[in-house]
Chains A and B, each alone.
Chain A
Amino acid sequence: MKIIIADDSRVMRQIVLRTMRQAGFGHHDFVEATDGADALDKVATERPDLVLSDWNMPNKTGIELLRDLRGSGNAVPFGFVTSEGSEEMRETAAAAGALFLIAKPFTPEHFESALVGMLG
């Protein structure tokens, strides 16, 4: 499966990738996106099976990215990996079509729990 990791922090993209490997998902293909606008372009060109996105990003936030995808009829599975995990944000994410929200700081177990049914 192909997974897009969208985060404006290169360091955080590396940490998400490392944590995915630690959670047992390292055999999948990963594509990095540097913000929401870049992720929107790469969803169109890469046709991923999953998008893992930060919330707070320049150019286009994660929630704007998700709403743009759903607004254009794209139903790619989508989850947030973000430093903010309030109930309000979880409700907003779910209402927009996100499958899960993993709050930073996270552990491999958080990814395993959120993704095991989807990625196996």
Chain B
Amino acid sequence: MTTYSAPDQALVHAAIEQVWGSMLFEAADPWPTGVPAEFETGLQAHIEIRGGWNGRLLLTCDSAVATQIAGALLGIGPDEPVDEPDVHDAVGEVLNVVGGSVKGAIGGSMTLGLPGVRASASPRSSEESLVVSWRGNPVHVQIVPDAELAGDS
């Protein structure tokens, strides 16, 4: 019987570092401890992983950060405008590539869903999330197993 390892923060952080370094040309440094990482108006990308491990990855960032990420992905200057559909597309695609790396690291027969993006505030400080720094701004990444959604421990 094949066994699967649940993705942990170290694995997801490694995937983010790889994606940001090669696609966004930015480092993904850990967010400093003790510094507030909350914001009111942002975007949240989500993608499902199905198979030996079932759950979702969530990436949440401030709207201005999402626009900067889209600009970096498209390789355009910091002052050039990016249409909102392209911002949603870009943030979803970044999480899609992170999800592909995570899925590959879990191993076995797994499927990756299509990314979705919606408006969202930052996760509450009580919610466990990996926080990385994007040009001095927080980006939250959460690993949400289905069991957690169902309220199981």
Report A's interface with B, CB cutoff 8 A: 8-12, 14-15, 18, 56-58, 82-86, 88, 103-107
- CB of B109 within 8 Å of the partner chain: yes
Residue from A9, A85, A103 whose CB has the most chain B CB atoms within 10 Å: A9
- CB of B19 within 8 Å of the partner chain: yes
Q: B103-123: which residues lie under 8 A (CB-CB) from chain A?
A: 103-104, 107, 109, 112-114
Contacts of B107 in A (CB 8 A): 86
- CB of B99 within 8 Å of the partner chain: yes
**When the two chains form the complex, which single residue of A18, A56, A85, A103 contacts B75, counting CB atoms closer than 8 Å?**
A18
Q: Smallest CB–CB gap between A88 and chain B, Å?
A: 7
Q: Smallest CB–CB gap between B99 and chain A, Å?
A: 7
For the residues of A in contact with B, the DSSP-based class is loop
- CB of B26 within 8 Å of the partner chain: no
Q: Which 4 A-B pairs have the closest CB atoms?
A: A83-B100, A105-B22, A84-B100, A11-B89
- CB of B86 within 8 Å of the partner chain: yes
Contacts of B93 in A (CB 8 A): 9, 11-12
Q: Smallest CB–CB gap between B27 and chain A, Å?
A: 15
Q: Smallest CB–CB gap between B16 and chain A, Å?
A: 11
With A12-B89, A15-B73, A83-B112 already in contact, 17 other A-B pairs whose C-beta atoms are closer than 8 Å: A9-B92, A11-B70, A11-B74, A11-B86, A11-B90, A11-B93, A56-B113, A57-B114, A83-B101, A84-B104, A88-B109, A103-B100, A104-B23, A104-B97, A105-B19, A105-B23, A105-B97
Report B's interface with A, CB cutoff 8 A: 18-19, 22-23, 70, 73-75, 85-86, 89-90, 92-93, 96-97, 99-101, 103-104, 107, 109, 112-114
Would you call A8 and B114 a contact (CB within 8 A)? yes
Q: Smallest CB–CB gap between B13 and chain A, Å?
A: 15
Q: Smallest CB–CB gap between A84 and chain B, Å?
A: 4
Q: List 16 interface pairs A-B (beta carbons < 8 Å), by A numbering.
A: A8-B114, A9-B89, A9-B96, A10-B85, A10-B89, A11-B73, A11-B74, A11-B86, A15-B73, A58-B114, A82-B100, A85-B100, A85-B104, A86-B104, A104-B96, A105-B97
Chain B residue at minimal CB-CB distance from A106: B22
CA distance A86 to B114 in the complex (A): 17
Given contacts A11-B89, A83-B96, is CB(A56)–CB(B74) below 8 Å? no
